[in-house]
Structure 1
């Protein structure tokens, strides 16, 4: 029997997590190539170089109809003779409801509690100081988290298992699931120097937590990828499946039945350097049932309705459009990303029609418009714009606020005879998302904002929330091969009449989200989550399609059983409160109170709450040094290291290089701790032998039961 500090029901797959970690480590080749010259040495806090713990991860995801439950197991391996604390910056889906964490140290399992953020950090720091095993998961952004693990013993492997719930996305007949695997480096604007000079007081920092969202990044020219990931998905769609595929990774697919698929990475372990995306469609001739689900939680029913309005049989005459294309050509867009962005913009220009008007804005740490105002979409103007786009190169920082405001600025806000649209192409690698959201809410007017996420690891939180605030849609393009199809889908939406004046009415009392429904474009579903004493009565949806009334009534008693819907509802309500705080619809105090209540009631990690696990017994000997370090990250696939960090990086082991000022705004110290190298072949052999022994020991105990 494994001792448990805080006994709770435990998922079966936790018991085999050590085997998962051992298998990942024993794959060996990836980690060995990743440290070609030996152990990765990182400078932390200005002290002596510290050997970074090695990390391997496993993701196991179960899709049940409209929701997905994920278990992420992270294995931290200390290959040194010191006691170590490691901090790892990692991404999750922007709508992930993180609700559980367990820490496995030897034969002990410590179950985490959800607490207010400051209280959780105090508990973690006290346990760290006392030499106890401890782990702390904090949300830095809705899609960006840090995991700190303290007192990892010499030669020891510690496991941290994190669980979350999320909704499955749907567009038309295509369902999708996305798993981010690497936290891309972010540009963090510095406080305005002009304001500081004028007032004599320090200007507010647009990214006050810049240190928390910054981690060491490996140069792929000097290091092969680290942090190997294995992945398995149990897909239970709830209907007969047709096409199941991934545009981002090579996968294997097993089909136990018409309604279920089991997916794994074809190569076993892969580098954590790009988002994983899985899409699936119904079998030909199959029409999935009504998307209406419920879950009984804590004496109430959580309801999820996903309904796609029909395409109008007779579309209204399309209005001419004013389209402003904004393209990010900052350093983070170097490599394949800038090619994807330019190709996407050129497709957009080709789809403009006579009577449309347009302009193009490009930005890095400066901005430039092709024309002084909107111009007709005729051949001379289009040729000039295409020539401008063709000459763009990636360089500099990502100052997004000014070009966004310029694109949203509307010279004729009362115009009703034209449709005004902004198409914004970027990887979203910034740290000041709050300023962007505030600007959209303040200046959107009649404009619709369409976000196009570029590259292998776009900032999903920025993309989706900006599109929601801008009453548009988000399109993600991960490779040049996807440009034509995904831009065609986006442009069809831009050219199609929207479903407007949407409203939802429950016949029985319900707490529903979103409180204000967005405009919809062709193929976009209405998604509503609600909590009510009992799922009964009706939900009535109304709107206008192509100028004609549309109405549908759903019988809530016909809802199918679903899993995790209560978590999805609570996470959506928290997101609404955050938006209300940013846009001024709620005071910060009222928003924080609502977020904290929802987080504590539903056990969720948020900006105000964290998961903390601490052991009861000290492990580190009194007086033994605790080395602290941040784990290194891969550069996202397709990024150009020199375009992001500059060309003046030293090529031999040396102190951490200074960031190029034009590429990324400096941290408080003005530098980024990039890894240095040494030799560790002996430790690698010991690692393999030790983990093999661990695997055999666990297997023996299971057989003995």
Structure 2
């Protein structure tokens, strides 16, 4: 047997052998050091092979969505192997080659800004291997409180779209969607969801977190709404905080809040200099009083997620927030209420005035909300944005959700493209382990503010702060001007947002030539007065904090990827990749890989590949995610383990479903009927002929494809119906992996058609094309569109 024919059994991560359950992930240890506004965090994951065969372990886990991950290493016995940052495809190839040749290897990849995959190949039976990941992050600061957050589990993501494994071209309906099926909307869905442990079952995996705060002055009012803490005050204002021994299950975000003694720092400036230039971070809290008597009539649209994952505590928290929101409206405000799951429902067709009878009507509607079905958030967002706006009012959309979806970019792109200038979107994430990436980004592009509230936290302060903020920003029309020699610094965010009550302005900059100068920040206060603050910036290589440069690189990557919410571009991907390699950062297009020098296992031996199971997030309903029928079936199955067989509790059942891989139902309602209906609607226009005025799509150039592949792709594209009167050329660069076009990027410089809707339609069609086995690497296709 050759290395290429090594027998490998892939299992869902929960392994039954006789009476014993075996779990590859043994322990996670987190060491965080906080200095002022910055944190440096070290995460060590300990894996152990409990089997008698060589193990490959795959673990999906979260990190903060703006963390700058810049180090990874693996430790085998006493030897430490440092990971190297590479382009993602190159790192994957190095890892696969090492795995086939019997070397022990580790691969760290980023699936989303807050979802990561750790793969470890060729762990010997009984062997223990440690993976250490290091990152820098910037602490949140609001209302006098610093907040440190460490997420511990990825909640089950709902995946919309048509499965890529369905035979769409043959005219049959798409197969039922599961959470681990790639779709034309979320082509990497299979990499987002880990198997979830059955209810009432615990793995041996636990987590320890130690946080050291060095504030230089006494730290006070330390609290956590999520965990029990052990607190030890050290010398010179330092504090060490650990999780209580009975609160180490990794099923919820750690939220740690504290204050420092004395006056709250209004301004912090941090700098760093090296061969890449001078870097700086500015944290500015303008000393401006909030004017509570300046109130503008508002039109608020409340959009509530009522999909299955919201069942129980999350929806109850959203209902509690909604009741307080309705009762807290000003007398001249108007409001609407919409809720969404498979479909969108609404309280009224038009906004309601704030009267006693309308408030009662709203509260009655809120009280009857129930959670079931899929998380079709895009429909909800579109409906909320399109609610008629009364003349003379500012539209405010308020989204309440756990954010458990895999199509975050699609949602952010819709807000980015469709929310009218001057309107705002605020997002509230309710639960123990919400999708902070979605909550943060959708508010950012919606020019609002995100808020995370646990399902068991009081809501009074949250609603009071919300109204205090939306009534009026504190500082608007912010301008940033460089006064000094040389080129001005590159700043992120590129356009400063309006500031609200108790919200700091956070800027990250790089002065490539390192020449000092002044940065002047000005804006208009709520009472119309001009506000101004000037900073003297000097860059001393002998002083400073190295994390500042890494965080600037991370903010640049974030800004570049935010520009690609609608679709990826060749130039954008190249810019992100270049930045990530320069600053040694993990990104969607780079990965860390570490490989042992020696061959450690027999390349021809049998390997067990295990995806590590995770806890269901605290407060999330199993029935809401999986459906009552599947939960009942699984509870019966647990009482009958199969001895002496490689049987996974998260594996295939007799009917071929995967009950511990969360279904895309998010409420137990199968989406096969929905998928079939959607397919019929899409294919109906193409059943006999193309629409008469739909553009003709023709491949005029292609590299990486032979004549037969070009002919097949050309035939595949003819089933696509595009908007009429579209003419021009589009150039796509595509990365081929395992018989699929895994990444489809538009070359904007070479394309004359760049309309987001058309790019999306063609991209989704390309993703569904079955690539011939002879095609590998990168493919470039130039399409002509002629009406």
Residues 301 and 336 in structure 2, CA contact (< 8 A), matched pair in contact too: yes
Q: For the structure 1 residues 661 and 65, does the alpha-carbon distance in structure 2 shift closer, same or farther, using more than 3 Å as the test? A: closer
Q: 2:518 aligns with which of 538, 542, 560?
A: 538
Q: Give distance in 2, aligned partners of 1:291 and 1:46.
A: 48
In the TM superposition, residue 504 of structure 1 has moved relative to its aligned partner by 1.2
1:14 alignment counterpart? none
Residues 138 and 605 in structure 1, CA contact (< 8 A), matched pair in contact too: yes
TM-score, normalised to structure 1's length?
Answer: 0.83
1:31 alignment counterpart? none
Q: For the structure 1 residues 106 and 46, does the alpha-carbon distance in structure 2 shift closer, same or farther, using more than 3 Å as the test? A: closer
SS of corresponding position for 1:441: helix
Residues 13 and 613 in structure 2, CA contact (< 8 A), matched pair in contact too: no
Matched, 1:64 2:11: no
Q: Which runs of 5+ in 2 are unaligned?
A: 1-8, 175-182, 639-648, 675-787
Matched, 1:307 2:284: yes
Residues 190 and 666 in structure 1, CA contact (< 8 A), matched pair in contact too: no
Q: 1:430 aligns with which of 402, 405, 409?
A: 405
In the TM superposition, residue 444 of structure 1 has moved relative to its aligned partner by 1.2
RMSD over aligned Cα atoms: 2.9
1:85 alignment counterpart? 56
Q: 1:580 aligns with which of 550, 563, 571?
A: 563
1:656 alignment counterpart? 652
2:595 alignment counterpart? 614
Q: For the structure 1 residues 291 and 181, does the alpha-carbon distance in structure 2 shift closer, same or farther, using more than 3 Å as the test? A: same
Residues 70 and 135 in structure 2, CA contact (< 8 A), matched pair in contact too: yes
Q: For the structure 1 residues 199 and 510, does the alpha-carbon distance in structure 2 shift closer, same or farther, using more than 3 Å as the test? A: farther
In the TM superposition, residue 623 of structure 1 has moved relative to its aligned partner by 2.7
Matched, 1:466 2:442: yes
Q: Which runs of 5+ in 1 are unaligned?
A: 1-40, 671-705
SS of corresponding position for 2:628: coil
* CA offsets 1:20-71 (integer angstroms, 9 cap, x no match): xxxxxxxxxxxxxxxxxxxxx9835999999541331000011111211110
SS of corresponding position for 1:507: strand
Q: Give distance in 2, aligned partners of 1:294 and 1:145.
A: 29
Matches within 5 A, 1:385-464: 385-409=362-386, 411-412=388-389, 415=391, 417-445=392-420, 446-464=422-440
More displaced stretch, 559-568 vs 226-235? 559-568
Matches within 5 A, 1:314-325: 317-325=294-302
In the TM superposition, residue 295 of structure 1 has moved relative to its aligned partner by 1.5
Matched, 1:154 2:129: no
Q: Give distance in 2, aligned partners of 1:535 and 1:336.
A: 54
More displaced stretch, 202-211 vs 629-638? 202-211
Answer 1 or 2: higher relative contact order, Cα 8 Å, separation at least 6: 1
Q: Give distance in 1, aligned partners of 2:153 and 2:272.
A: 33
Q: Give distance in 2, aligned partners of 1:247 and 1:629.
A: 34
In the TM superposition, residue 332 of structure 1 has moved relative to its aligned partner by 0.9
More displaced stretch, 333-342 vs 134-143? 333-342
Q: Give distance in 2, aligned partners of 1:88 and 1:666.
A: 27
Q: Give distance in 1, aligned partners of 2:539 and 2:397.
A: 40
In the TM superposition, residue 481 of structure 1 has moved relative to its aligned partner by 2.8
Q: For the structure 1 residues 65 and 498, does the alpha-carbon distance in structure 2 shift closer, same or farther, using more than 3 Å as the test? A: same
Residues 128 and 151 in structure 1, CA contact (< 8 A), matched pair in contact too: yes
Q: Give distance in 2, aligned partners of 1:441 and 1:313.
A: 29
More displaced stretch, 324-333 vs 240-249? 240-249
Matched, 1:516 2:492: no
Q: Give distance in 2, aligned partners of 1:461 and 1:636.
A: 16
Residues 228 and 269 in structure 1, CA contact (< 8 A), matched pair in contact too: no
Q: 2:212 aligns with which of 234, 240, 254?
A: 234
More displaced stretch, 495-504 vs 613-622? 495-504
2:453 alignment counterpart? 477
In the TM superposition, residue 489 of structure 1 has moved relative to its aligned partner by 1.7
SS of corresponding position for 2:555: helix
Residues 210 and 667 in structure 1, CA contact (< 8 A), matched pair in contact too: no
Q: 1:261 aligns with which of 236, 239, 242?
A: 239
* CA offsets 1:85-138 (integer angstroms, 9 cap, x no match): 010000000001111111111222111000000000000001111111100000
SS of corresponding position for 1:440: helix
Matches within 5 A, 1:345-356: 345-356=322-333
1:363 alignment counterpart? 340
TM-score, normalised to structure 2's length?
Answer: 0.75
Q: Give distance in 2, aligned partners of 1:312 and 1:459.
A: 33
2:550 alignment counterpart? 567
2:251 alignment counterpart? 273
Q: For the structure 1 residues 480 and 51, does the alpha-carbon distance in structure 2 shift closer, same or farther, using more than 3 Å as the test? A: closer
More displaced stretch, 328-337 vs 548-557? 548-557
Q: Give distance in 2, aligned partners of 1:539 and 1:523.
A: 22
Q: Give distance in 2, aligned partners of 1:93 and 1:76.
A: 22
Q: For the structure 1 residues 447 and 199, does the alpha-carbon distance in structure 2 shift closer, same or farther, using more than 3 Å as the test? A: farther
In the TM superposition, residue 603 of structure 1 has moved relative to its aligned partner by 0.4
SS of corresponding position for 1:561: coil
More displaced stretch, 589-598 vs 313-322? 313-322
Aligned positions, number:
622
Q: For the structure 1 residues 667 and 272, does the alpha-carbon distance in structure 2 shift closer, same or farther, using more than 3 Å as the test? A: farther
Q: For the structure 1 residues 271 and 345, does the alpha-carbon distance in structure 2 shift closer, same or farther, using more than 3 Å as the test? A: same
Q: For the structure 1 residues 384 and 289, does the alpha-carbon distance in structure 2 shift closer, same or farther, using more than 3 Å as the test? A: closer
In the TM superposition, residue 486 of structure 1 has moved relative to its aligned partner by 2.0
* CA offsets 1:548-583 (integer angstroms, 9 cap, x no match): 322111222499833401011100000000011225
Q: Give distance in 1, aligned partners of 2:226 and 2:16.
A: 39
Matched, 1:117 2:100: no
2:755 alignment counterpart? none
In the TM superposition, residue 303 of structure 1 has moved relative to its aligned partner by 0.4
SS of corresponding position for 1:638: coil
Residues 221 and 259 in structure 2, CA contact (< 8 A), matched pair in contact too: yes
2:728 alignment counterpart? none
Matched, 1:217 2:196: yes
